[in-house]
Chains A and B, each alone.
Chain A
């Protein structure tokens, strides 16, 4: 028999996390707790220069005075920051020249995740820098990039080898004291990625990094810094999956993008951290600060597909400082069961003729809550600033919620701001219509959701779009994959 809405709901609820497994790799883990000694120890452990240690300590001092924000439309048990271990690195530490040398169990883990490195390599020449529990274990395609003068490495390596660049730009977009989680990240970040594209260079391949949380009870604090020098272009892909855990895991990343004059950065994310089970137990807390700054004629484009995490708090933003600069935000956020997402963007128009576009698609199922929160700010000097925002929500069932919190602050009369919002529900009529054409209910939902998300999916690089589409299906339907 075909589905009733009841049955459908039940099936959605019982969908267990596909990637719920745990890899037993020996780890070198710090004891739980956070104090100045731990901050210094992390810095030492990573053989960082003195200025970096001081920078971390400054952040830690600021963090101690700060309070966890409560304005987001989410409720959760606040993490005990003294119960978390702030450093964990896989033991098989040496870097590998080829994948054959990598711990087979690790490779097996990636296989389960559906990430075949070989395939990745073949696919349009994607360079993959894998952050497995905080330390980079493999970097490929480095040579090709080096020939163009492109630097793509772990942030730890960059701190040591490209100290000037890091010192100049780290914290320039997201200052240490920016917010509670950014301050925490600044103090204890374990690793992350660094990317520099020299003047006038067009990065010949999509740069990609996979993050995973692996060791039990270790929060992951990545730090990503992407610098596109004048007239350069880069497309950066970030994808996340995490194994199932009982206790909540904290993920507080900071991503800073710097697009100098005439440069363009495209930053795409697929986030699939463990969302908790169907009863709302477990799941990752994803408190992320992502922000980019655009100088003259520069462009930053954020695209995100958010399907995971128990609680998401994330607002990839653009500071449109230079005249004629462009900011874009394309987002799909899926919540199911007891997931909560409060996500959106900030577009800060400072320069003249700056333009921004916001397309947000929220899909809620189960008992989840999905909020869009966005700020469009036009300063008094930003002549002829333009913004277009569109927020669409799709609801499945009667127990979920979709919320929209658009904030608009305009201090210049020449600004043009447009905002559109819609809310719709996947109807039994739509499903029956598909059924009648021979399309079963799962496939029908996938079709409807993909149609709803199409404007955003189209913005993703080809190979990522396929993966993202698959993720949408997995997140909303039992066995489809």
Chain B
């Protein structure tokens, strides 16, 4: 589904990703771990197509198609979703209105008519239930005055609504207490299927207790320095990132 080939990318001539290779297939859950500044969030942003980052070498393929020159909204239409580490506030735009717009824009891109209101309402109700979201919450302005937990839960709600093929969760666990973490993780687990894939970007291992990855990759200085199964996450937790930094790799 996703194939990253020797990806080099940076911002304003400053190279952050220095040759990433990664393949993610349908039905898989990958965790990308690494210390601060290793390039985790940059990788997520580059896959999502954020303009600020310049790809200098290599590429990202999605469903066999080179994503180079594909605008972020087009990538979203193809089924790439990113849960933001810091979701942005949009005052005066309700969660419902935002989702309605997003869904209908994606449908338009696929040549479909707007989703009928009744169907939309049904979908919203269904997904809100799945994530234990109060209906009142949906009429509030997007992310405005939301607690850290509410913001992250809202991100997963949007993921549930948009039903992406590939979901990238960028530090979704940061700022979450244990209850919120469980709700978010349950939501992701319920949405997992053999047809979609999840990339979890995280600093800590704790989210991986709830969403069990098939593969764990360790990112350091813009490169994947170690890959393994979920045991690698435990090993990292026990030994710390210094273990990686000190060059005891591969």
Contact = CB atoms under 8 A, between A and B. Distances in A.
Contacts of B87: 433
Contacts of B51: 1-4, 428, 432
B12 interface: no
Contacts of A447: 90, 93, 97-98, 101
A202 interface: no
B82 A2 contact: no
Contacts of B48: 436
A428 to B, nearest CB: 8
Interface stretch (B67-75, B197-205, B233-241): B67-75
Interface string B59-80: 0000000000101110011000
A436 B76 contact: yes
B145 interface: no
Main SS of chain A's interface residues? helix
Interface string B104-147: 01100100000000000000000000000000000001000000
B90 A451 contact: yes
A271 to B, nearest CB: 22
Contacts of B93: 447-448, 450-451
B91 A452 contact: yes
Contacts of A437: 76, 98, 102, 105, 158, 162
Contacts of B105: 437-440, 443
Contacts of B97: 447
Interface residues of A, number: 27
B228 interface: no
Contacts of B210: none
B50 interface: yes
B59 to A, nearest CB: 15
Nearest to B92: A451
A453 B71 contact: no
Contacts of A453: 92
Contacts of B90: 430, 433-434, 447-448, 451
Interface of A: 1-4, 427-430, 432-441, 443, 447-448, 450-455
A382 to B, nearest CB: 33
Given A430-B89, A433-B88, A448-B90, 7 more contacts: A1-B51, A436-B72, A437-B102, A437-B105, A438-B162, A451-B92, A454-B92
A433 B84 contact: yes
Contact of A438 (B52, B76, B91): B76
A-B pairs, 9 with minimum CB distance: A451-B92, A451-B93, A435-B72, A438-B76, A437-B102, A454-B92, A2-B71, A433-B88, A438-B106
Contacts of B141: 451
A434 B71 CA distance: 12
B109 to A, nearest CB: 7
B92 to A, nearest CB: 3
Contacts of B69: 1
A428 B72 CA distance: 13
A362 to B, nearest CB: 15
Contacts of B103: 438
Contacts of A439: 73, 101-102, 105
Interface centre among A2, A438, A455 (most CB of B within 10 A): A438
6 contacts: A2-B71, A2-B72, A2-B73, A438-B73, A447-B101, A453-B92
A427 B76 contact: no
B34 interface: no
B10 to A, nearest CB: 16
B187 interface: no
B49 interface: yes
B88 A429 contact: yes
Interface centre among B50, B73, B81, B97, by most A CB within 10 Å?
B73
A433 B90 CA distance: 10
B69 to A, nearest CB: 6
A397 to B, nearest CB: 16
Contacts of A435: 49, 71-73, 76
A436 to B, nearest CB: 5
A448 B81 CA distance: 21
A434 B90 CA distance: 10
A453 B90 CA distance: 12
